[in-house]
C-alpha cells in the first residue's frame, strides 16, 4: 500500500472539507474553522502513518483473510486517534482555543 499525492488529496477532501464546513457553521469564523479542521487533518495524517507502521509491525502475522480487515481497523483507529489528539493539544497549548467564544 503506497501513498501518493492523490492519496493526500483524497484524505484532505474526505476529512478537511467536511470538517471545515461543519466548523464554519458552528463557529462562524473562517480563521477558527480553518485552524480546527487543519489541526484535525494534520493529526489524522500523522495517526494514519503511525497506524500504517503498526500494521507493518504486527499486522502481517494474521491470516490472509483477516489482513485487510485488520489493516482497515488499525489505519482508521490511528487516523481518528491522531486527529483527536491534535485537537486536544491545540486546546491545551493555545491561550484561546478556537471552539470557545470570546
**Any domain includes 3:** no
pLDDT at 54: 83
**Any domain includes 49:** yes
Distances (CA, A) of 95 to 18, 35, 99: 26, 14, 12
CA dihedral 88, 14, 55, 73 (to 10 degrees): 90
| Cα distance between residue 31 and residue 40, in whole Å | 14
**Any domain includes 79:** yes
Can you say whether the dihedral through the CA atoms of 74, 77, 79, 82 is positive or negative? Answer: negative
**Any domain includes 15:** yes
Q: What residues contact 2, with CB distance under 8 A and at least 6 apart?
A: none
* Tens of each residue's pLDDT in the chain, 102 residues: 455 677 777 777 888 899 899 888 888 889 888 888 888 888 888 888 888 888 888 766 767 777 777 788 888 888 888 888 888 888 888 777 777 665
Number of domains observed in the structure of the chain: 1
Print the domain residue range for 74.
9-93
pLDDT at 4: 66
Task: Specify whether the CB–CB gap between 20 and 39 falls below 8 A.
Answer: no
Task: Specify whether the CB–CB gap between 66 and 55 falls below 8 A.
Answer: no
Task: Specify whether the CB–CB gap between 47 and 28 falls below 8 A.
Answer: no
**Any domain includes 102:** no
**Any domain includes 68:** yes
**Any domain includes 100:** no
**Any domain includes 81:** yes
Q: What angle do CA 7, 8, 14 make, to 5 degrees?
A: 90
Amino acid at each position: 500500500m503506497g501513498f501518493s499525492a492523490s492519496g493526500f488529496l483524497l484524505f484532505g477532501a474526505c476529512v478537511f472539507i467536511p470538517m471545515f464546513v461543519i466548523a464554519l457553521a458552528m463557529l462562524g469564523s473562517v480563521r477558527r474553522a480553518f485552524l480546527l479542521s487543519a489541526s484535525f487533518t494534520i493529526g489524522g495524517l500523522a495517526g494514519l502513518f503511525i497506524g500504517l507502521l503498526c500494521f507493518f509491525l504486527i499486522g502481517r502475522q494474521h491470516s490472509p483473510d483477516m489482513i485487510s480487515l485488520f489493516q482497515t481497523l488499525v489505519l482508521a483507529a490511528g487516523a481518528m486517534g491522531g486527529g483527536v489528539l491534535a485537537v486536544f493539544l491545540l486546546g491545551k497549548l493555545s491561550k484561546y482555543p478556537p471552539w470557545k467564544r470570546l
